[in-house]
Amino acid sequence: MKIIIINGPNLNLLGKREPDVYGNQTFEDFFSQLQSRFKEVQLEYFQSNIEGELISKLHEVGFSYDGVVLNAAAYTHTSVGLGDAVKAIATPVVEVHISNTHKREEFRHVSYISPGAVGVILGFGLQSYVLAIQSLLQK
């Protein structure tokens, strides 16, 4: 079972960035916890601040991996290209968000990712990623 977590812009700053919204833990630290928790899964992690790199990564993994956990961050609300890429690939994509985007500004209520995703998990902090992996394992 091969699953990749793909994080979009500014998520490289987790732990430092708006800790009241996103928490104090770095993603690298959280990722090692995920690896210990899901030993049966070949887990990979990719982060980019660049829209085209995120699209290329989806193309690269999207016909051979068993699942993608995608937090497209701000591109969620703006990127037709990323939304199209999610629809174009065969691998199931679970959309995740750390915060409950529906409790926040109105521009965060729109997602270009959701129409192509198998499901959406949001608002559970970093636990959203755990729930996304569990949902892929149960598929």
Q: How far apart are CA 32 and CA 39, in angstroms?
A: 11
With the CA atoms of 97, 89, 9 and 107 taken in that order, what torsion angle do they form, in degrees rounded to the nearest 10?
Answer: -60
Kindly state the smallest distance separating residue 40's Cβ from ligand DQA, in Å.
26
Question: From CA 51, how far away is CA 124, in angstroms rounded?
Answer: 25
Would you call 45 a catalytic residue per the annotation?
A: no
Answer yes or no whether residue 120 interacts with ligand DQA by CB under 6 A.
no
Enumerate the H helices of 89-126 as residue ranges: none
Cβ nearer to ligand DQA, comparing 81 with 108: 108
List CB contacts of 2: < 8 A, sequence separation 6 or more.
Answer: 41, 42, 44, 64, 65, 66, 67
**Is 10 near ligand DQA (CB under 6 A)?**
yes
- Per CB under 6 A, which of residues 75..104 are in contact with ligand DQA? 76, 97-99, 101
Catalytic-residue membership of 97 = yes
The catalytic residue among 45, 65, 97, 129 is: 97
Active site residues: 22, 97
Kindly list the residues in this chain that would bind ligand DQA in the complex (CB under 6 A). 10, 71, 73-74, 76, 97-99, 101, 108
